[in-house]
């Protein structure tokens, strides 16, 4: 029905909040139009129209008429008709989804040119060369993107034309040359696409619109979306915009700009400008650009106006904006703006700068950064004091320190990285076809292009180290090498690139910790130089997150050293001490003796040996975490993990037997290994089951905990131990262990004379435990969700195997966008967590609830745990700052 649906919006109708419908580009063009900024008139076809097309294979029936009506209005406004022979209106047809997908989808410029109107354009502009150049660009872009002709055929023809004329750049080709090129291009289209290049302007426009719709689903667009976690069903909008020309001579040009430096956040004039060029030339890095500041000399009036507009935009959007603009014969036009991508460090700096400028408040500042960015800032950097051999310096496009073997094409990057090599992808410039290779590489190095080149934009988005425009490097992709002066770097040679300084080094440069980690470690404080400015920004935002968050953050740690680091990083206790980690190394033999014990007394002896060692472990841990809760989990993994490998041992014994010198101990060991061997150890004799089957094991651990706590108390410490039982499936298991534990604790209280309050609780990591949480809460003072095992058992995925086996296929097919072991599966596993939390609290209102699976340090999962009302998340020490930040973001 035509009453409610509206598939086309004029730029004057939309606004920046309509990104779902108009895409980012369309929404912001509308916003700028309504701000009174110079935007060439045009209209936007909605993502709904695209979705209909993608679902049904046909444009919605209303679309044609709506486009006609808007085109009519546009033609009236501009005083000329699309493709009109004597004075053509030309339009661009540009993709633009809700989330920016730089270079991934189609765009066609100069729609409306034909054999007839090209002469009209020439007359109107008084510039033959320009008209024919625009026409050849149209056929080239249209041929490649709409008609699917191999783009290299056009490029080769252009190269040949330059060679024939003996010129180096395309701007040196004259009208007559370009006219010949047009004939050549049309022939290419005819042979390759099996049809003539369409002369009807409306047909050009309709086909271009359709091709933009279709470009939503190209392989590279899909890959990019998976990488960036952009949903696959959003569709793209299509912007039809009257053309303005940057290729009308030296008083024209095109450029990109940032309202502040996307790498440092500093305010100033940042961007690139290219004289006498059209749209995509800048991003593609075809010719080298000049810094935006040079525009002041080239065209002061436009420069001043641009500065003014940038200020307007920043105040309006209250954020860093990036901009695409074109100058047509001294007249400035805005072609795009959006809140710009930035490096992790700049995100923190800008957020606090904007607070200081009074543009946003602290709550908003917290939303302007995220845990992934903070994690990035915690990466190590190159050691500045190391001896290095610098090869050159490019533009610091995306920070980080990357070391790897030089490769010169994406295919090799992928192949080598699959076989475990770290690689640096080196290209003259990258294009969207390099996406796979960029993902596979540790870092990206290009010899051409500025901060806004494809390589820079995409790498920043991926959080990947990138140095671009390192012009001293002669990259020869055909021969797979680059040369810098005398030095030749062949494929496979190691290089190091610093995305924070732009420096490129030969060989492996050692790395040092990040200043942000130094700050968390308490070894650095706010000051004045560049690193400290970042630290100061992180400090302020973390302080705010800590003030507003409700979730507490604990650490998964099982030794004093990790515990102390976690504490420095802001941990408010230990949420999971995996005691099996205390049984490794030389203690393994004691465990072996315990497992092999035939008689009660042998077993008791083994346990007696272990007791003081365990106790000492706990004393150290409680001391490190004095005053904060420490959740000690009793032994969890299957016992055979403590015994030798079954195959190795079998071979050893068989060999020994053949030599007739088999030793008694090996034979017993082999028997035990056989006895304990399980097909599915993860579902076998582990967790609470061990405690119930091996007499004295859990009670030894409980005794060690209780005695350690008593000793710490006597030493005037403040131990806050909690005892946690793993892999419980029914309350009966818990009740038995609980009773035994309480008895041991009572004995320790009795013998030491120290009063002890030790909370007893359980992990919820089996579906049955979650489903009977109301009953289990009768016997548990706290729950800690073990979302690793819970994910494993809810999905029936072996956590140790799947990532290497079929997950890649699942991710490729889009069955999930991210592994459920990484980000909590809200609908399945998450539902159990939510329901169990609720049921548990109904039984026991003061039940303490936490999570200690890997998800505890995953940003998206942290938000979920906040939402379902858990009390804390527990994660590895290094992820604690991330969890604090995300808990703050979830709460504000």
Q: Which residues are annotated as a binding site for substrate?
A: 578, 633, 765, 786-789
Residue (454 or 640) nearer to ligand PEP, CB: 640
CB 494 within 8 A of CB 445: no
* Helix H or strand E encompassing 236: strand 236-242
In this structure, the strands spanning 503-506 and 389-393 are antiparallel
| CB nearer ligand PEP, residue 144 or residue 686 | 686
According to CB under 5 A, which one of 786, 840, 850, 859 is a site residue for Mg ion? Answer: 786
Side by side, the strands of the sheet bearing 389-393 are 389-393, 503-506, 494-498, 401-407, 423-427, 443-446, 465-468, 395-398
**Nearer residue to Mg ion within complex by CB, 325 or 698:** 698
Q: Which of 640, 852, 855, 866 is catalytic?
A: 852
* Of the candidates 540, 488, 546, the residue with the CA atom closest to the CA atom of residue 516: 540
Total binding residues for Mg ion by CB under 5 A? 3
Site residues (CB under 5 A) for Mg ion, limited to 213-252: none
> Which one of Mg ion, ligand PEP, none is in contact with 533 (Cβ closer than 5 to 8 A by kind)?
none
Contact 406, 442 (CB under 8 A): no
Task: Select from Mg ion, ligand PEP, none the partner in contact with residue 190, using the beta carbon and a kind-dependent cut-off of 5 to 8 Å.
Answer: none
What is the smallest separation between the CB atom of 109 and Mg ion, expressed in angstroms?
A: 57
Q: Specify whether the CB–CB gap between 201 and 112 falls below 8 A.
A: yes
**Binds 787, which of ligand PEP, Mg ion, none (CB < 5 to 8 A, cut-off by type)?**
ligand PEP
Residue 3 CB coordination number (10 Å)? 5
Q: How far is the CB of 733 from ligand PEP (least distance, A)?
A: 16
Catalytic-residue membership of 454: yes
Nearest-approach distance from CB 859 to ligand PEP, in angstroms: 18
Q: Give the largest CA-CA distance in the chain.
A: 106
Instruction: Give CA–CA dist 524/531, Å, rounded.
Output: 10
Q: How far is the CB of 634 from ligand PEP (least distance, A)?
A: 12
* 852 binding partner (options ligand PEP, Mg ion, none; Cβ < 5 to 8 Å by kind): ligand PEP
Query: Nearest distance from residue 203's CB to ligand PEP, in Å?
Result: 59
Residue 23's H or E segment, with its range, is helix 19-34
Phi, psi angle pair for 61, to nearest 5°: -60, -35
β strands within 477-560, DSSP E: 481-484, 487-490, 494-498, 503-506, 511-512, 552-556
Rank residues 312 and 788 by Cβ distance to ligand PEP and give the closer one.
788
Give the interface segment with Mg ion, choosing from 63-71, 88-96, 508-516, 788-796 (CB under 5 A). 788-796
Q: Which does 445 bind (CB under 5 to 8 A by kind): Mg ion, ligand PEP, none?
A: none
**Closer CB to ligand PEP, 53 or 821, in the complex:** 821
Which one, 711 or 765, has the nearer CB to Mg ion? 765
> Which option in Mg ion, ligand PEP, none does residue 576 bind, with CB closer than 5 to 8 A by kind?
ligand PEP
**Regarding beta strands 494-498 and 401-407, do their DSSP bridges make them parallel or antiparallel, or are they unpaired?**
antiparallel
Site stretch for Mg ion (CB under 5 A), options 124-132, 670-678, 736-744, 780-788: 780-788
428 binds, among Mg ion, ligand PEP, none (CB under 5 to 8 A by kind): none
Q: Is 722 in the site for Mg ion (CB under 5 A)?
A: no
Does 133 bind Mg ion (CB under 5 A)? Our answer is no
Smallest distance, Å, CB 804 to ligand PEP? Answer: 18
Closer residue to Mg ion (CB): 462 or 683: 683
Compose the 755-774 pattern: x for residues touching Mg ion by CB under 5 A, - for all others.
Answer: ----------x---------
Q: What is the C-alpha separation between 707 and 697, in angstroms, rounded? A: 16
* Residue numbers belonging to the annotated binding site for Mg(2+): 765, 789
332: left (phi over 0), alpha (psi -120 to 50) or beta: beta
Residues 165/180, Cβ–Cβ less than 8 Å: no
Q: How many CB atoms lie within 10 A of CB 588?
A: 14
Using the contact rule CB under 5 A, the part of the chain among 148-156, 215-223, 512-520, 786-794 near Mg ion is 786-794
Does 789 interact with Mg ion (rule: CB under 5 A)?
yes
Q: Which residues contact 121 (CB under 8 A, 6 or more apart)?
A: 87, 88, 90, 113, 130, 131, 134, 135
According to DSSP, the β-strands at 720-725 and 759-764 are parallel
Angle at CA of residue 227, ends 221 and 229, nearest 5°? 95
Q: For ligand PEP, which is the closer residue by CB, 766 or 839?
A: 766
- Closest separation in Å from C-beta 777 to Mg ion: 19
Binding partner of residue 760 among ligand PEP, Mg ion, none, CB under 5 to 8 Å per kind? none
Q: How far is the CB of 762 from Mg ion (least distance, A)?
A: 11
**Min dist. Cβ of residue 612 to ligand PEP (A):** 25
Binding site for ligand PEP (CB under 6 A): 576, 578, 636, 765, 786-789, 852-853
Give the nearest distance from C-beta 556 to ligand PEP in angstroms. Answer: 7
Exposed (0-12), middle (13-18) or buried (19+): which is 208, by Cβ within 10 Å? buried
Cβ proximity to ligand PEP: between 337 and 787 the closer is: 787
- The listed partner (ligand PEP, Mg ion, none) that binds 578, CB under 5 to 8 Å by sort, is ligand PEP
Q: Other C-beta atoms within 10 Å of 808: how many? A: 11
Sheet holding 481-484, edge to edge: 474-476, 481-484, 487-490
Phi, psi (degrees; rounded to nearest 5) at 384: -70, -25
Q: What SS3 state is found at 138?
A: helix
The residues, any chain, with a CB within 8 Å of residue 483's CB and separated by 6 or more, are: 473, 474, 476, 489
- Report CA 625 to chain centroid distance, whole Å: 33
The single residue of 70, 241, 321, 454 carrying the catalytic annotation is: 454
Which parts are annotated binding residues? Answer: 578, 633, 765, 786-789
Spatial separation of the C-alpha atoms in residues 880 and 892, rounded to whole Å:
18
Q: Say if residues 161 and 177 touch (Cβ distance below 8 Å).
A: yes
Collapsing DSSP to helix, strand or coil, 677 comes out as coil
The alpha-carbon radius of gyration of the chain (Å, integer) is 33
- Report d(CA 394, CA 443) in Å as an integer: 13
Nearest to ligand PEP of 637, 881 (CB atom) = 637
Question: Nearest residue by C-beta to Mg ion?
Answer: 789
Q: Is 852 a catalytic residue?
A: yes
**Residues involved in catalysis:** 454, 852
**Residues binding Mg ion (CB under 5 A):** 765, 786, 789
């Amino acid at each position: 029905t035509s009453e409610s649906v509206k598939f086309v919006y004029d730029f004057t109708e939309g606004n920046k909040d309509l990104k779902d419908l108009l895409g980012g580009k369309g929404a912001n063009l509308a916003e700028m139009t309504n701000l009174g900024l110079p935007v060439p008139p045009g209209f936007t076809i909605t993502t709904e129209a695209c979705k209909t097309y993608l679902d049904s294979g046909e444009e919605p029936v209303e679309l044609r008429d709506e486009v006609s009506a808007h085109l009519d209005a546009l033609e009236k406004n501009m005083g000329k008709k699309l493709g009109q022979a004597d004075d053509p209106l030309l339009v661009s047809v540009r993709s633009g989804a809700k989330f920016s997908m730089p270079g991934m989808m189609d765009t066609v410029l100069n729609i409306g040119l034909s054999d007839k109107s090209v002469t009209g354009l020439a007359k109107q502009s008084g510039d033959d060369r320009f008209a024919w150049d625009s026409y050849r660009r149209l056929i080239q872009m249209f041929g490649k993107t709409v008609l699917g002709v191999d783009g290299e055929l056009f490029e080769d023809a252009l190269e040949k034309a330059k060679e024939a004329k003996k010129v180096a750049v395309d701007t040196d080709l004259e009208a007559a040359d370009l006219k010949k090129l047009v004939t050549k291009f049309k022939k290419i289209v005819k042979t390759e696409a099996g049809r003539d290049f369409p002369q009807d302007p409306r047909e050009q426009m309709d086909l271009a619109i359709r091709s933009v719709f279709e470009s939503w689903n190209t392989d590279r667009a899909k890959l990019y979306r998976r990488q960036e976690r952009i949903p696959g069903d959003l569709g793209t909008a299509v912007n039809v915009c009257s053309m303005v020309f940057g290729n009308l001579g030296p008083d024209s040009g095109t450029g990109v700009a940032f309202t502040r430096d996307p790498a440092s956040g500093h305010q100033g004039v940042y961007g690139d400008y290219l004289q006498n060029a059209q749209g995509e030339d800048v991003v593609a890095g075809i010719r080298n650009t000049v810094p935006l500041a040079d525009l002041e000399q080239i065209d002061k009036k436009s420069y001043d106006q641009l500065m003014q507009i940038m200020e307007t935009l920043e105040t309006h959007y209250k954020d860093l904006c990036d901009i695409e603009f074109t100058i047509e014969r001294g007249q400035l036009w805005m072609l795009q703006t959006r809140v710009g991508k930035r490096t992790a460090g700049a995100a923190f700096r800008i957020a606090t700068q904007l607070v200081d400028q009074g543009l946003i408040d602290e709550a908003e500042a917290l939303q302007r950064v995220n845990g992934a960015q903070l994690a990035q800032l915690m990466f190590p950097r190159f050691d500045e004091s190391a001896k290095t051999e610098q090869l050159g310096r490019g533009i610091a496009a995306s920070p980080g320190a990357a070391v790897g073997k030089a490769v010169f094409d994406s295919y090799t990057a992928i192949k080598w990285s699959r076989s475990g090599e770290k690689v640096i992808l080196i290209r003259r410039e990258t294009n969207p076809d390099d996406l796979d290779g960029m993902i596979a590489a540790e870092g990206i190095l290009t010899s051409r292009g500025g901060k806004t080149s494809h390589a820079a934009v995409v790498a920043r988005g991926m959080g990947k180290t990138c140095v671009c425009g390192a012009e001293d490097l002669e990259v020869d992709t055909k021969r797979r090498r680059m040369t810098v002066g005398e030095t030749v770097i062949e494929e496979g040679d190691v290089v190091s690139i610093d995305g924070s300084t732009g420096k490129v080094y030969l060989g492996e440069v050692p790395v040092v910790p990040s200043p942000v980690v130094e700050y968390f470690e308490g070894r650095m404080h706010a000051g004045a130089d560049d690193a400290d400015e970042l630290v100061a920004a992180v400090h302020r935002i973390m302080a705010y997150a800590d003030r507003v968050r409700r979730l507490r953050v604990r650490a998964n740690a099982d030794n004093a050293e990790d515990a102390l680091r976690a504490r420095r990083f802001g941990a408010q206790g230990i949420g999971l001490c995996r005691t099996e980690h205390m049984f490794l190394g030389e203690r393994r033999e004691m465990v072996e003796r315990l497992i092999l014990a035939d008689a009660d007394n042998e077993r008791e002896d083994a346990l007696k040996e272990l007791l003081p060692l365990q106790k000492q472990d706990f004393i150290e841990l409680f001391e490190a975490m004095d005053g904060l809760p420490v959740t000690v989990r009793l032994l969890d993994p299957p016992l055979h993990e403590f015994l030798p490998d079954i195959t190795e041992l079998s071979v050893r014994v068989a060999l020994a037997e053949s030599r007739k010198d088999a030793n008694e101990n090996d034979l017993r060991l082999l028997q035990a290994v056989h006895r304990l061997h399980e097909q599915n150890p993860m579902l076998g004799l582990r967790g609470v089951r061990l405690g119930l089957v091996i007499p004295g094991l859990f009670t030894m651990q409980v005794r060690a905990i209780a005695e350690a706590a008593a000793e710490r108390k006597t030493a005037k410490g403040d131990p806050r131990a909690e005892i946690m039982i793993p892999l419980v499936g029914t309350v009966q298991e818990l009740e038995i262990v609980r009773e035994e534990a309480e008895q041991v604790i009572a004995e320790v209280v009795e013998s030491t004379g120290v009063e002890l309050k030790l909370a007893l609780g359980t992990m919820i990591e089996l579906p049955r435990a979650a489903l009977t949480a109301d009953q289990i809460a009768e016997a548990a003072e706290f729950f800690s969700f073990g979302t690793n095992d819970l994910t494993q058992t809810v999905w029936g995925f072996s956590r140790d195997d799947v990532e290497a086996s079929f997950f890649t296929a699942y991710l490729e097919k889009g069955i999930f966008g991210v592994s459920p072991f990484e980000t909590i599966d809200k609908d399945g596993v998450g539902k159990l967590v939510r329901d169990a939390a609720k049921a548990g609290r109904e039984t026991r209102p003061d039940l303490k609830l936490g999570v200690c699976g890997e998800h505890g340090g995953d940003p998206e999962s942290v938000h979920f745990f906040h939402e379902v009302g858990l009390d804390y998340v527990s994660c590895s020490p290094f992820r604690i700052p991330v969890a604090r930040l995300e808990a703050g973001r979830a709460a504000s």
